[in-house]
């Protein structure tokens, strides 16, 4: 089916991104997986191509687009490739929006040009050891002392934290009867004394991207590095969640579609018992069923993109699209790997790496169980 949300300018942009990734990423994907690192030079290459600046105002080196569709195109093209660029997609779709929505003009002038160019990559530090999805219960503290905050605490599962030049840290600066009160966003800059990067965490998948622990010991964060108003972080975090969850859904759908395409090509070539694997009824039924589900998922995701562009995508609807897309991605990866047989278990085959990469999407950005809870509340179920 035709995608009504894309026009000629979108298709031209998609071709540009695809050509860039084919040249700058695909030849090195396996090496990066083995080295468990993405070179920082790639981020500057992506920045120079205008990929990070799609929504950044022109005065700060961006394209000034209000539409999320260009972001979605980048997510899709990355997800169709052989290695997921987690620090890049998080920088583009999660971190930059905080600076667009809550930073002062002075802060934007100071940081956005480098964020657009890829010279200044961002990360966000929310999750704490033992904390999981309970943001209201975080223990990292920041005490106001004159013109700065003294920051202490620890964070974990921080994507892109190893090389980030800017880290948005969620810290408790006050208290109140509601645990969600008194949280503040502080921007910690690379090189600030007391910031320590811990070990790179070993993961089931997403081997190329760095995921680290961060420690803050008496870090002096200037008051001018506060994003938005002190004590309002919980509202800011929940306000940005629909786009974050939509971004995950967009990538999940694109990867699932690409997995299906790879599998169709494979079964057309694979000979089993003297015939093509694609000629067997079970193969046809499995792939036909997945194709129908993916068509439905694509319609759901594209509708969510349109609603987000119009400012009408609700938190509950974002939860629905993330739940549906990520669960579907998992089914597609599992059923397609089965058709590859023993080869599907070999990491030299892209299906094996995608199978493990896909598992995390049902966890980060809010687990499937959290999505169901949000949806149930929107239905009046208490």
Catalytic sites, residue numbers: 244
Instruction: Give the tokens for residue 255.
Output: 């990867």
The answer to whether 136 and 234 are in contact (CB under 8 A) is yes
Cα dihedral 309/72/301/332 (nearest 10):
-170
Q: Which two tokens stand for residue 322?
A: 């993330």
Phi, psi (deg, nearest 5) at residue 232: -105, 15
State the angle between helix axes of 233-269 and 281-309 in degrees (0 to 180), rounded to the nearest 10.
150
Q: Are 241 and 191 in contact (CB under 8 A)?
A: no
The 8-class DSSP code of residue 113 comes to H
User: Measured between alpha carbons, how far is residue 373 from residues 331, 369, 382 in Å?
Assistant: 21, 6, 9
The DSSP secondary-structure symbol of 221 reads E
Six token digits for residue 335? 């059923």
Q: How far apart are CA 111 and CA 125, in angstroms?
A: 18
Helix axes 40-48, 8-24, angle to 10 degrees: 150
Distance (Å, whole) CA 332 – CA 321: 16
């Amino acid at each position: 089916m035709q995608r009504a949300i894309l026009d000629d300018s979108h298709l031209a942009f998609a071709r540009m991104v695809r050509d860039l990734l084919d040249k700058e990423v695909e030849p090195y994907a396996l090496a990066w997986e083995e080295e468990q690192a993405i070179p920082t030079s790639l981020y500057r290459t992506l920045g120079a191509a205008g990929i990070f600046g799609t929504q950044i105002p022109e005065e700060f080196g961006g394209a000034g687009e209000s539409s999320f569709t260009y972001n979605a195109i980048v997510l899709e093209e990355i997800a169709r490739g052989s290695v997921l660029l987690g620090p890049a997609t998080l920088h583009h779709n999660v971190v930059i929006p905080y600076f667009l929505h809550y930073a002062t003009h002075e802060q934007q002038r100071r940081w956005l040009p480098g964020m657009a160019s890829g010279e200044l990559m961002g990360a966000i530090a929310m999750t704490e050891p033992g904390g999981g999805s309970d943001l209201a219960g975080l223990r990292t503290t920041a005490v106001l002392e004159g013109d700065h905050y003294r920051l202490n605490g620890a964070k974990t599962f921080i994507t892109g934290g190893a090389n980030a030049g800017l880290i948005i840290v969620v810290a408790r600066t006050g208290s109140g009867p509601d645990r969600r009160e008194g949280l503040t966003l502080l921007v910690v800059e690379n090189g600030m004394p007391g910031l320590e990067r811990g070990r790179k965490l070993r993961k089931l998948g997403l081997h190329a991207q760095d995921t680290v622990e961060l420690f803050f010991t008496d870090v002096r964060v200037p008051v001018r590095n506060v994003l938005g108003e002190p004590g309002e972080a919980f509202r800011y975090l929940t306000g940005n969640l629909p786009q974050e969850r939509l971004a995950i859904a967009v990538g999940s759908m694109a990867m699932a579609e690409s997995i299906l395409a790879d599998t169709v090509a494979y079964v057309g070539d694979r000979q089993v018992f003297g015939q093509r694997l694609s000629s067997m009824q079970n193969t046809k039924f499995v792939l036909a069923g997945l194709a129908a589900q993916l068509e439905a998922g694509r319609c759901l995701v594209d509708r969510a993109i349109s609603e987000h562009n119009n400012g009408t995508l609700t938190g509950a609807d974002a939860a629905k699209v993330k739940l549906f897309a990520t669960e579907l991605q998992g089914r597609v990866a599992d059923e397609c790997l089965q058709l590859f047989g023993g080869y599907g278990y070999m990491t030299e085959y892209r299906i094996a790496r995608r199978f493990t990469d896909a598992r995390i999407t049902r966890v980060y950005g809010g687990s499937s169980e959290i999505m169901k809870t949000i949806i149930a509340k929107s239905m009046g179920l208490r």
